[in-house]
């Protein structure tokens, strides 16, 4: 069984289709029921008149019946009632009408094609009354000319007006609900993009939509407060730790250069490198917090990502060559988009440094930039050991590191602080794009899609 649509548009279409179907069936049903009732009443009338002229079970005398018909036509108003008595050959004996065709026995309908003066539609009852004679009694089913067409127009106008009123109300309701849903959607998108100050507009009428918007905004206020407290704790720790760490790093560097430290020079160098790693980690955390704030979007400018990628590749090539690796610019389409040049440069540097740092000698790192009508696609591919599929989600989290690649010299070598890919993803998210890790078979492929 096909499930019902769940979108507002789909539900509107389904409701409208059902309403139109039911209304059309009701209109046609009422129209034909009325016409059937009119036919039934007219049939009862002509049967009664026919039996009054010739009761069932009697055989009338021809001359007496003819005089009775003539007298009936003279004594009463039969403008909407016709009587015709014919003999066995179909010749008229008496009556106030004639037919252009031979009528069957029993009930049948008359119309304009029968060319009866003053009758546009009617019913007729034809009986054999004995002696080879046939008695036809007929009456109009339309009290006025073109009444059937008039009744049809009345039904069409009445049910059509109902359909138009309901359709207008449905469209107005859909527009109202759609507008409210769109306001919530825009607010949610702004929150996702880092603007925690955006709120759902409130109409102020204290209705259901107003109450819903108020509850949604209060929830956002609470989330914003909690996020702010968490961010402040993280930022404060990073800021507070950077200063003493910087002093410690400088002291270690000075001790490393002194003559007295010769026996401990290697250990001091190791301690200084660890301090540098910690400083880099805190700087990355502060950078991610700055990016996720969303304020950098105000400084977006037009740039060519293809040309920018070529510049970064040229800059990274010497570093890769020192490690016995190659960085190649496979494709660099002209890829204009709107973004932050500094952030996108950092994105490219992070991706390339990640590939250079975590792959062995002899690895080839390929970069390509392509574009279509909707987006720009940046791809960085290496033929190193790659990242197991089960651990790709882990490395996208802050401080996430590959646990055990099990492939000898691999991405487990220089560990880093686990913030390179999260920082890259934060930059991509700032530009309303997506970053996906894929298997290059062998190696890792990072695909970044940015809207133009």
Residue pointed to by tokens 């400018």: 301
CATH 3.30.565.10 in the chain, residue ranges: 300-451
pLDDT at position 414, please? 47
pLDDT in tens, 119-154: 778 888 999 888 888 888 888 877 655 566 666 777
Q: In the chain, where does the domain assigned CATH 1.10.287 lie?
A: 208-292
Of the candidates 442, 407, 424, 191, the one whose C-alpha atom is nearest the C-alpha of residue 294 is: 191
Q: What's phi and psi for 81, nearest 5 deg? A: -130, 130
- What is the reported pLDDT for 294? 57
DSSP state of 101: S
Regions of the chain with pLDDT less than 50:
405-414
- CATH number for the domain whose boundaries are 8-148: 3.30.450
Q: In the prediction, which pLDDT does 180 show?
A: 82
pLDDT at residue 376, as a whole number: 92
Q: Compute the distance between CA of residue 400 and CA of residue 163 in angstroms, rounded to an integer.
A: 60
pLDDT given for residue 304 in this prediction: 92
239-262 tens-digit pLDDT = 667 778 778 878 888 887 887 777
Of the candidates 420, 342, 331, the residue with the CA atom closest to the CA atom of residue 376: 331
pLDDT of residue 87: 85
Name the pTM for this structure.
0.49
Around Cβ 416, how many Cβ atoms within 10 Å? 19
Which CATH number applies to 208-292? 1.10.287
What is the predicted pLDDT for the residue at 35?
78
Nearest to 388 by CA among 352, 439, 436, 424: 439
Instruction: Evaluate whether 383 touches 361 at the Cβ level (below 8 Å).
Output: no
Cβ(30)–Cβ(60) below 8 Å: no
The CATH label, of 3.40.50.1820, 3.30.70.3270, 3.40.50.2300, 3.30.565.10, for the domain at 300-451 is 3.30.565.10
Tell me what pLDDT residue 406 has: 42
Counting other chains too, the contacts that 9-14 makes at CB distance below 8 Å and 24 or more residues apart are 9/174, 12/170, 12/174
**Ranges for all domains in the chain classified under CATH 3.30.450:** 8-148
User: Which residue, chain included where needed, has tokens 């304020």?
Assistant: 295
């Amino acid at each position: 069984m096909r499930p019902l649509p769940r979108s507002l548009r789909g539900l509107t279409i389904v409701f409208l289709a059902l309403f139109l179907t039911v209304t059309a069936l009701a209109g046609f049903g009422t129209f034909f029921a009325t016409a059937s009732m009119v036919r039934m009443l007219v049939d009862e009338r002509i049967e009664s008149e026919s039996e009054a002229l010739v009761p069932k079970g009697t055989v009338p005398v021809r001359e007496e019946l003819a005089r009775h018909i003539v007298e009936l036509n003279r004594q009463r108003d039969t403008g909407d009632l016709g009587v015709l008595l014919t003999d066995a050959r179909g010749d008229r004996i008496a009556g106030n009408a004639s037919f252009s065709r031979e009528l069957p026995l029993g009930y049948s309908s008359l119309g304009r094609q029968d060319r009866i003066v003053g009758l546009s539609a009617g019913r007729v009852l034809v009986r054999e009354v004995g002696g080879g004679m046939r008695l036809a009694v007929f009456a109009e089913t339309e009290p006025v000319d073109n009444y059937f067409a008039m009744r049809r127009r009345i039904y069409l106008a009445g049910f059509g007006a109902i359909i138009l009123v309901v359709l207008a109300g449905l469209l107005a309701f859909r527009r109202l609900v759609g507008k409210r849903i769109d306001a919530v959607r825009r607010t949610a998108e702004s929150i996702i993009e880092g603007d925690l100050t955006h709120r759902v507009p409130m109409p102020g009428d204290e209705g259901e939509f107003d109450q819903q918007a108020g509850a949604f905004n209060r929830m956002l206020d609470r989330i914003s407060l909690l996020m702010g407290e968490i961010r402040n704790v993280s930022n404060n720790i990073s800021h507070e730790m950077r200063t003493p760490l910087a002093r410690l790093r400088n002291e270690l560097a000075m001790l490393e250069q002194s003559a007295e430290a010769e026996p401990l020079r290697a250990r001091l160098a190791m301690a200084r490198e660890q301090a540098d790693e910690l400083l880099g980690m805190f700087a990355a955390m502060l950078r991610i917090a700055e990016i996720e704030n969303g304020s950098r979007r105000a400084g977006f400018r037009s740039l060519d990502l293809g040309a920018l990628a070529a510049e970064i590749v040229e800059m990274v090539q010497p570093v890769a060559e020192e490690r016995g690796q190659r960085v190649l610019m496979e494709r660099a389409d002209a890829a204009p988009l709107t973004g932050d040049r500094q952030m996108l440069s950092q994105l490219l540097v992070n991706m390339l440094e990640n590939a250079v740092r975590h792959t062995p000698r002899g690895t080839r790192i390929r970069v390509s930039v392509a574009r279509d009508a909707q987006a720009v696609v940046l791809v960085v591919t290496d033929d190193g050991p790659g990242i197991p599929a089960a651990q790709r989600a882990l490395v996208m989290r802050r401080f996430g590191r590959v646990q055990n690649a099990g492939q000898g010299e691999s991405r487990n070598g220089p560990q880093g602080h686990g913030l390179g890919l999260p920082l890259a993803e934060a930059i991509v998210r700032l530009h309303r794009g997506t970053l996906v890790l894929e298997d290059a078979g062998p190696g890792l492929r990072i695909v970044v899609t940015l809207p133009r």
